[in-house]
Amino acid sequence: MRKERMNDKGFSLVELIIVIAIMAILLVVLAPQYLRYVERSRNSTDLQNAAEIVTALQIYAADPEAAVDPDNGSITIGTADQTLDLSTFEGAALADAGLLDASNVLHTRRQSRTAWEDYTIAWTVNDGSLNFTYSAANEETEGTFSNRMLGATTAPSTPTPGT
């Protein structure tokens, strides 16, 4: 008589539990790093979008054939699309740069969820050139958005009391 042997292929219950435990530990260790990476990417997207808007305004202001003369103004980027008036400097500049769709809607939106909320790009015209200032609502550290737009690679340090 031939004895039937059990199929020894596959994993035992203990081996499966060990693999699941290792995966859980890796998830606990790596998830926060991944979330920080995603947020840094969102912040970078905001900065790139703002830089694109600034570049469009500068190029339009320098164009001698521009239909609308530059004037002082500002634009706030939030979580909603914006319909811009093409008779304004910013509307004409962003339309000329191709940043508006056929309905004159700017689809650029704020991406950051932790570093800042809505951000504002303001400009003044001084002797034919544009001077920009940047601000953001509810920043983690005041001046973070402005400093990053001006080329800083790290967040501003918070002053210590008594200095």
Q: Which residue segment(s) compose the domain that 135 sits in?
A: 14-149
For residue 4, being part of any structural domain is answered with: no
For residue 124, being part of any structural domain is answered with: yes
For residue 38, being part of any structural domain is answered with: yes
For residue 80, being part of any structural domain is answered with: yes
Measured on CA atoms in the order 36, 40, 42, 43, is the torsion positive or negative?
Answer: positive
For residue 102, being part of any structural domain is answered with: yes
pLDDT tens string 48-79: 999 999 999 999 999 999 999 999 999 999 99
For residue 78, being part of any structural domain is answered with: yes
More confident residue, 103 or 142: 103
pLDDT of residue 45: 94
pLDDT tens string 109-155: 999 988 899 999 999 999 878 999 999 998 888 888 999 998 877 65
Number of structural domains in the chain: 1
**162 has pLDDT over 70:** no
For residue 121, being part of any structural domain is answered with: yes
For residue 158, being part of any structural domain is answered with: no
